[in-house]
A and B are shown apart, each in its own frame.
Chain A
Amino acid sequence: MARRTSLPVTFVVPTIAILLVLSMVPTLYAIVIALQNRELSTPDYSWVWLSNFVDLFLDRRFLNAVWVSVKWEIVTVVATMVVAIGLGVLMFEVASPRLRNIYCLLFIIPVLLPRVSAAFVWKFAYHPLYGIATYPYRLLTGGLIFDPLSKPATALFAVASVDVWQWGLFFAVIVLKLLETLPPQPIEAARLDHAKRWQIHAYVTLPMLKAPLISLMFVKMIESLRSFDLIYVMTRGGPGVATETLDMYAFSQGFIESGKVSYASAMAVLMMIATVITFTMLWKRVQA
């Protein structure tokens, strides 16, 4: 008969308790104030129950923010994974071990930059007159002006490119290191069967890396939800509301424009519910 010990309880209970306090108290508080009509400018408030949630679904900026957030998630996650896998495989195939180390060092640097610094650097790089990123366009078109951050059609992609620059390159290093850890036998066997290089990766190496790649994708999905600083510095949600994600809009309503903290909390609560449901469904689908 196994001897009962209190050791697991001793270690686990305080940790769980701290986690519960840290995560549940703000969450419950957010839910409570989402049911009220608190504003920063006045201490008075009353209970409005679900009124904030009803108002949200009639608010064109909120609906736009939902759509922008969805686009942002898709664009940044897909582009990051494509860049990471593409570059990772490319380095694995063509670079010598010494060159790989140099590339790895270079590719890690962007993600080490604070997001706000990266955002400022790229904001200047995209300047229509002086920007280094817009220089090739000016050169090729004889001086025509291209201002990607002020065009609704390009602003989101311009900001997303900075996110991909930071995370895609970093993930490429991880993909390379994952490829290097694979056993060589399946790859050798595929080569003996005259498989082409792309076939080896499409049918052998990448399927072998399915689990870690999915984990990377989940990490990126969570990271993309926290894009506030990048968007705030580069476009502030503009032009108009073209890059206004849910967190940007919630912050605007809570602290920049009207001080409607209850309305902003209602958005945060909806975001939390949507995120939990989406991630749970995706996780279950992947596990199946």
Chain B
Amino acid sequence: MKPIRLAAGLGAAFMLSATVSTIALAQAPVCSAPVKVLAQPRDGLTLLEDSKAEFEKLAGAGFQIDYLNENDRRAKSRADASTVGNYNVYYVDEANVALFASSKWIVPLTDYYPADYDYADFDPGRQKVATFDGKVWFAPLTGGGDLMVYRKDVLEAAGIQPPKTLDELIADVPKLTNPDKGMYGIALRGARGSGANVWRWMPFFKAYGGQWFDGDKPVFNSDAAVKATETYLKLFKDSAPGTQTGSWDESTGAFLSGQVAILVESTPLSGMAVDPKTSQVVGKIGFLPPPSPLPGGGYGHGLAIAAKANADDASKKCAGLFIAWATSKENEKRRLDAHQFGELNRTSILSSKEFADIYGADLGQALAETGKVTAVNFWQDPRWPDLGDRWGIILEELVTGTRTDIKGGLNELDAYANELAKKK
């Protein structure tokens, strides 16, 4: 009996030690220091800070988010990633993910994104924008395409049907402008930047059949680019004051304060427009996809794991866990409960009954329709921000009248694109 007792005793001891080590492993904190995040202000991230204790309990350390507005965030993250590497997590977007990925400033996300958090649940369009060179680089915080949001009351008063085509839009906008009554036909973005004025201009470029390249040769000065710019400048004559050097904030601000009849903008606008806390036009608006053939500007912003600050695997796992938790279904549900429309990215949430109850069937229908015409309009390449920003300055000059020669400006851009193309 003794050998049996001994074997049983040894077996029990082994089981006990294995259990104890499993518990110890399970309790070992994933993070040894607070996760430092560089981001731009988002309601979803502000809400996330209320649940800081939950992450501390999960990971063993907290997190700290530093906020900078979009252009500053881009400049700062670029400088940080290429030099000191102070931040564990960067907020990246469709315009700079290619640069960050190809420069190895961020690491592929799915290697460190825990499977339980179900990355596949994100909206497929946003997953596409987060993918570069066959790898996924960020988990979306926001994204989508474009919607046309219009004032039903203003259009009805003018006897105008909501425009279904670009030609109708061009014809209707001047008729809706009435500065004496503080009403402007449209609001566009004039401020320089690949994510500002160029972002709004690109659907026109694509609508007129524009392509960035003819084979390997850049064709940034094509007839489509000229026509797109002419149309953009023509529409700008009826754009709300303040938008000539403004961007998203100025154009949406003008619409939400009741001074704009038609606005084609990124989808988060629709959530803001139906929220009485942010909108003075609640109950007066309708939603439609952008007038044909304008494609929607597919975009996505999200969180990525920094390479430099996370030198070892443990740090990368910690950053990955933070990103997974921040973009989890539970946190997205909190954002839905807080009516943060622009912060919703998961199909399980967007197709939920709660979503339909809050935002109504019209918006859901428009979102489904616009999804069909949403496209990636920009050149998916690390050199895009440089080129896009260069065009942004020229376009701002054209909008504000510092420059009048459209073809000359595009020739200058094309010459710069050729210079950049040689660098590859």
Measured CB to CB, the residues of A under 8 A from B are: 40-42, 61, 127-129, 143, 145, 147, 149-152, 235-242, 251-252, 255-259
Contacts and interface: CB of A to CB of B under 8 A. Distances in A.
Interface of B: 71, 74-76, 78-79, 82-83, 99, 102-103, 179-180, 182, 190-192, 240-242, 244-245, 254, 259, 382, 385-386, 389-390, 393-394, 396-397, 399-403
Contacts of A257: 385-386, 389-390
B71 A256 contact: yes
Contacts of B396: 238-240
A143 B259 CA distance: 14
Contact of B241 (A40, A128, A241): A128
Given A129-B241, A238-B393, A255-B76, 19 more contacts: A40-B83, A40-B103, A41-B82, A42-B103, A149-B245, A236-B71, A238-B192, A239-B190, A239-B397, A239-B399, A240-B394, A240-B402, A241-B393, A241-B397, A255-B78, A256-B389, A257-B389, A258-B389, A259-B82
A151 B254 CA distance: 19
Contacts of B393: 61, 238, 240-241
Q: Which of B245, B259, B394 has the most CB of A within 10 A?
A: B245
Nearest to B240: A129
A242 B402 CA distance: 8
A152 B402 contact: yes
A151 B399 CA distance: 10
27 contacts: A40-B79, A40-B82, A40-B83, A41-B82, A41-B99, A41-B102, A41-B103, A129-B182, A129-B259, A147-B244, A150-B245, A236-B71, A237-B192, A238-B191, A240-B394, A240-B400, A252-B389, A255-B75, A256-B74, A256-B75, A256-B389, A257-B385, A257-B386, A257-B390, A258-B386, A258-B389, A259-B82
B79 A150 contact: no
Contacts of A235: 245
Nearest to A258: B386
A41 B382 contact: yes
Nearest to B105: A41
B241 A240 contact: no
Contacts of B385: 257
Contacts of A237: 192
Nearest to A128: B241
Q: Which of B241, B390, B397 is the most central at the interface, judged by chain A CB atoms within 10 Å of its CB?
A: B241
Contact of B402 (A61, A147, A241): A241
A252 B79 CA distance: 12
Contacts of A259: 78, 82, 386
A236 B191 contact: yes
A129 B242 contact: yes
Given A41-B103, A242-B402, A256-B71, A143 B78 contact: no
Contacts of B76: 255
A41 B423 CA distance: 12
B190 A150 contact: yes
B400 A151 contact: yes
B421 to A, nearest CB: 14
B242 A236 contact: no
Most buried by B among A143, A150, A236: A150
* Residue among B179, B240, B396, B403 facing the most chain A CB atoms (10 A cut-off): B396
Contacts of A128: 241-242
Given A239-B396, A240-B397, A150 B103 contact: no
A135 to B, nearest CB: 13
A239 B244 contact: yes
Contacts of B397: 239-241
B414 to A, nearest CB: 16
Given A152-B401, A241-B402, A257-B385, A236 B192 contact: yes
B79 A255 contact: yes
A255 B102 CA distance: 17
A160 to B, nearest CB: 17
Contacts of B182: 129
Contacts of A127: 242
Contacts of A41: 82, 99, 102-103, 382
A213 to B, nearest CB: 37
A260 to B, nearest CB: 9
A143 B180 contact: yes
A92 to B, nearest CB: 41
A258 B76 CA distance: 13
Nearest to B74: A256
A185 B103 CA distance: 72
Contact of B245 (A129, A238, A241, A255): A238
A252 B399 CA distance: 20
A126 to B, nearest CB: 9
A61 B192 CA distance: 15
Contacts of B254: 129
B179 A238 contact: no
A241 B395 CA distance: 11
B241 A147 contact: yes
Nearest to A261: B82
A129 B255 CA distance: 13
Q: Which of A238, A242, A251, A252 has most B Cβ within 10 Å? A: A238
